[in-house]
Amino acid sequence: MKGLSFAALGLAALCVALAGCMSIGPGTVERDRLDYSAAVGDSWKSQMLLNLVKLRYGDAPVFLDVGQIVAGYSFPRSLGAVAAVNQTDGAPVINSSVGLSAGATFNDSPTVTYAPMTGERFARSLMTPIPPSVILNIIQAGNPVEEVFRTSVQSVNGVDNRRVGRLFVRRANPEFYALLPNLERLQSSGDIGMRVRQEGGEAQLQMIFRPRTAAAEESARRNVATILGLDPEAREYQVSYGTVAGSDREIALLTRSIYEILVDIASFISVPEAHVAERRVRPTAEGDIGPSGAIPPLIRIASSAQQPADAFVAVPYQGYWFYIDNRDIPSKQVFSSIMFLFTFVETRSHEAAPILTIPTTR
């Protein structure tokens, strides 16, 4: 009996020792990293779509940045054992008792900090046109020329893209839509590229066409030269920011700011007829006309009185749901590109971020 009691005590002591060595931290890394990444991504999509809808309705957009995420876990455990041995003098009987106790609690207390995107620096960055070098780098990375130019370029050598203001929507020049397929033909064949040359201590951005191309690509290159008023025999053209080129060997890109891009994308949103009748919002403008007829919208953002069943992203606003269908691949790609372009906006100020102190216990 006494041997049994001491064995139980030894077992309890071993359990306590093992419990003190166990850790729940490493096992949460993979799960938490993926879960928080997905949650932040989904919230960014919802925030972007909601702000597009608000711009469509003349409301002020508000952007909130996720500053820090601290996932805190605690798992206090306790194991105890008590034993009593009583021996009567002169008697062979031993009365003993053994008691074991255990307890555990789990606490999950994540801390998330948010920072509103405000201030002069953020506003200035939001309103500053995207540099032409960034536009060409995005194209060089494989993004379709048509998508990049329709979203981010207002005009090329005076050939205007669709322009959206607070009180108007002006259609693009038909030549703008004639230009895009020719540029895409050269992009897909790899016959167009860019180069940065240093001249006089300044970086000069150039668009380059290969000297030897197939007949179809050569025809596309000459079409580009004709539409933009370029020297058809040249193979290198200087790229600059502006409305009008200074010579027939220069390509002037008038690029848009992030704010202009958001306003343009918001204009494609299909709003409920009831809201138009109630004068809450202006009706959706008619589409552009190109050389071959009507131009499809850049992105399709629909509205519904009921929450959509299969949406890539959906948000409620003024009694309706606004969403992008999960099967609409072109709209999903354009929306994702807009979110990528938004990363070029400077959101941080010179002020130091608040320090988050996490207490620790032993």
pLDDT (tens place) for every residue of the chain, 362 residues total: 544 445 454 545 545 554 555 566 676 777 777 887 888 888 999 999 999 999 999 998 888 888 777 776 666 666 666 656 565 555 555 555 656 666 667 676 777 787 787 777 788 888 899 999 889 888 888 889 999 999 999 999 999 999 988 778 899 999 999 999 999 999 988 888 888 777 766 778 888 888 888 888 999 999 999 999 999 999 899 999 999 998 999 999 999 999 999 999 999 999 999 999 999 999 988 888 888 888 999 999 999 999 999 999 999 999 999 999 999 999 999 999 999 888 877 665 545 455 555 555 54
Query: pTM of the predicted model, to two decimals?
Result: 0.78
Buried b (16+ CB within 10 A) or exposed e, 156-170: bbebbbbbbeeeeee
Residue 60's SS3 state is coil
pLDDT at position 110, please? 75
Place of tokens 């049994």: 4
Closest to 47 measured CA to CA, from 31, 65, 68, 73 = 65
Pairing of strands 293-294, 163-164: unpaired
CA distance 254 to 242: 5
pLDDT at position 4, please? 45
CA distance 240 to 95: 97
220 touches 186 (CB < 8 A): yes
Instruction: Count the residues in the chain.
Output: 362
pLDDT at position 338, please? 92
Handedness of CA 214, 216, 219, 221 (dihedral sign): negative
CA distance 133 to 57: 33
Other C-beta atoms within 10 Å of 172: how many? 19
